[in-house]
Amino acid sequence: MSELPGDLLYTSEHEWLRHENDGSVTVGVTDHAQSALGDLVYVELPDVGQDVDSGGDMAVVESVKAASDVYAPIDGAIVAVNEELADDPEKINADPYGDGWIVRIQPSESIDESALMTPDAYQELLDQEEA
Give yes or no for residue 86 binding other proteins (CB under 8 A): yes
Distances 23 to 96, 105, 108 between C-alpha atoms, Å: 21, 9, 10
Q: Is 37 exposed, middle or buried (0-12, 13-18, 19+ CB in 10 A)?
A: buried
Q: Edge-to-edge strand order for the sheet containing 40-44? A: 40-44, 57-63, 67-71
Give yes or no for residue 64 binding other proteins (CB under 8 A): yes
Q: Which is nearer to other proteins, 24 or 82 (CB)?
A: 82
The span of 1-9, 13-21, 61-69, 120-128 binding other proteins (CB under 8 A) equals 61-69
Give yes or no for residue 95 binding other proteins (CB under 8 A): no
Please select the residue that binds other proteins; options are 3, 48, 56, 65, rule is CB under 8 A: 65
> Least distance in Å: CB of 26 to other proteins?
24
Give yes or no for residue 60 binding other proteins (CB under 8 A): yes
Binding positions for other proteins, rule: CB under 8 A: 38-39, 41-42, 44, 60, 62, 64-67, 86
